[in-house]
Amino acid sequence: MDTTTIVVFILSSMAVIFAVFARGDHESLGASYIFGDSLVDAGNNNYLSTLSKANIRPNGIDFTASGGQPTGRYTNGRTIGDIVGEELGQPNYAQPFLAPNTTGRVILNGVNYASGGGGIMNGTGRIFVNRLSMDIQIDYFNITRKQIDDLLGKAKAREHIMKASIFSITIGANDFLNNYLLPVISTGVRISESPEGFIDDMINNLRSQLTKTINKLTQNECVGLANELAQRYNGRLRDLLTELNENLHGATFLLGNVYDLVLELITNYAKHDSERGLLWQWRAVPGDHTVRANVDHLRRSTKHVFWDPYHPSEAANLVIAKYLIDGDTKYISPMNIRQLRDL
């Protein structure tokens, strides 16, 4: 049985969508195709002229694969996308689409299209000058899709995509933080557009983006208003997924609620400490680079929920990924990722 599964996660004031494309047998995961923003960017912005860059120390200090060197990930270690792939058996991390060496059979491990500052809306992240918006990421996936066909032949390529790959989409936060809520740039839009109207636009864009992506696959070829927006958006997202579940046959959509999960981590970090030895404190690492360069401080900080004011630490990403893979319906419904894989 070929099924497409979309998992939607909502993170704090950010809205996160996670799409898993899964199947009915127990083969381990071969590839992970990752779309999104800085929560899951693995280095695309290194190759853009942009004000949103993460390939600077101390980012990556706990990332084993790079020996602690920055990679373009906006955190100290692995992202949620890295961890979920790893847990499901992906042999290598998905490589950034824009990296010049992401060519040939490397793409069969997956490709990462995510870009810090990117959003569902084309205008989102203009403040950073350059970023890959969701529409562009989907266009890039179309290129990868063709390359997989060329590498494996159409029939095998389809099998690879349908049976051994997961797809995740982690996006939405910037549409609020770096678009709608941005005072200067979005003033015009905000005057002419209500929060409801803006969310309508986001949902409509996302509907067409998800539909386009799925069709491509199957056809073969923090803050008061921010939180309120996120919550309203999350409600609409739930409706959208129900609608897509009914209309896009061959696809199954899961909804993950990272919004509640992060709240849980923030309010009950001590509980997660005693249970897992992961998080003993909630404190953002100060933005000051001299402070951040202090390794002792950073070592302690790796146990904080947040790595910087916007991005979860690897420790938090591990807890989040764990709940998404094995958690109960409070966090991911109607089933978790592992149950889906083992269907």
Ligand X SMILES: *[C@@H]1O[C@H](CO)[C@@H](O)[C@H](O)[C@H]1NC(C)=O
Residue number, 145 or 322, with CB nearest to ligand X = 145
Catalytic residues: 38, 308, 311
Q: Kindly give the residue spans of alpha helices, DSSP state H, lying in 219-313.
A: 224-247, 258-267, 269-276, 289-292, 295-301
Q: Minimal distance in Å, beta carbon 187 to ligand X?
A: 20
Residue number, 116 or 119, with CB nearest to ligand X = 119
- Bridge-based pairing state of the strands 14-20 and 251-256: unpaired
Interaction between residue 139 and ligand X (CB under 6 A): yes
Binding part of the chain for ligand X, among 2-10, 132-140, 158-166, 296-304 by CB under 6 A, reads 132-140
| Alpha-carbon distances, residue 216 vs 37, 182, 207 (angstroms) | 21, 34, 14
Interaction between residue 45 and ligand X (CB under 6 A): no
Q: Minimal distance in Å, beta carbon 57 to ligand X?
A: 15
Three-state DSSP class for 57? coil
Distance CA 284, CA 198 (A): 30
| Interface characters, 178-217, with ligand X (x: CB under 6 A) | ---------------------------x------------
Residue number, 122 or 245, with CB nearest to ligand X = 122
Residue number, 154 or 330, with CB nearest to ligand X = 154
Distance CA 57, CA 52 (A): 14
Residue number, 87 or 135, with CB nearest to ligand X = 135
Residue number, 149 or 264, with CB nearest to ligand X = 149
Site for ligand X in 145-174 (CB under 6 A): 146
Q: Minimal distance in Å, beta carbon 34 to ligand X?
A: 15
Residue number, 218 or 294, with CB nearest to ligand X = 218
Q: Minimal distance in Å, beta carbon 121 to ligand X?
A: 7
Beta bridge partners of 253: 6
Q: Minimal distance in Å, beta carbon 46 to ligand X?
A: 9
- Bridge-based pairing state of the strands 14-20 and 332-333: unpaired
Give the start-end residues of each E strand in the chain: 4-11, 14-20, 31-36, 95-96, 111-112, 165-170, 251-256, 332-333
- φ, ψ of residue 90 to 5 degrees: the values are -60, 125
Site for ligand X in 64-123 (CB under 6 A): 95, 99, 101, 106, 122
Q: Are 36 and 114 in contact (CB under 8 A)?
A: yes
Q: Which of 136, 185, 189, 203 is in the footprint of ligand X by CB under 6 A? A: 136
Distance CA 164, CA 161 (A): 6
247 Cβ neighbours under 8 A, 6+ residues apart: none
Exposed (0-12), middle (13-18) or buried (19+): which is 66, by Cβ within 10 Å?
middle
Tokens of 298: 């950073």
Interaction between residue 266 and ligand X (CB under 6 A): no
Binding part of the chain for ligand X, among 17-25, 136-144, 178-186, 257-265 by CB under 6 A, reads 136-144
Give the position of tokens 């997956």: 110
Q: Which of 86, 135, 273, 326 is in the footprint of ligand X by CB under 6 A? A: 135
Q: Minimal distance in Å, beta carbon 259 to ligand X?
A: 26
Q: Minimal distance in Å, beta carbon 175 to ligand X?
A: 12
Q: Give me the residues that bind ligand X (CB under 6 A), please.
A: 95, 99, 101, 106, 122, 135-136, 139, 142, 146, 205
